Amino acid sequence: MVKITIDIPRGYERDFIADKFKDFFLRVITDMNYNGLCGNYEKEIAEMLLEAFDKAIVGDIPCGEKSNRGEMNA
């Protein structure tokens, strides 16, 4: 497993806390119809990123549960 650190711009912090990143990836995965530029490989990457964001840790706080996401501002 590779661990990376990303900086999410402050303007997207509320979206991250409200699981809008998860919503984004779910919509993208659903919208892939294999008739265009996206295929199985791109779908697998989107699914991997969805899982990675769901298991994200901010500092020492796991953020997969909504109850913990609000603690980012603490």
pLDDT at 49: 93
> Do residues 58 and 72 touch, judged by C-beta distance below 8 A?
yes
Write out the chain's pLDDT in tens, 74 residues.
888 888 889 999 899 888 899 999 999 888 887 677 888 899 999 999 999 988 888 776 666 655 455 544 44
pLDDT at 58: 77
Q: What's the number of domains the chain is made of?
A: 1
Residue 34 is part of which domain span?
13-73
Identity of the amino acid at 10: R
**Three-class SS of residue 63?**
coil
> Do residues 23 and 49 touch, judged by C-beta distance below 8 A?
no
Is position 59 within any domain? Answer: yes
> Do residues 52 and 44 touch, judged by C-beta distance below 8 A?
no
> Do residues 69 and 17 touch, judged by C-beta distance below 8 A?
yes
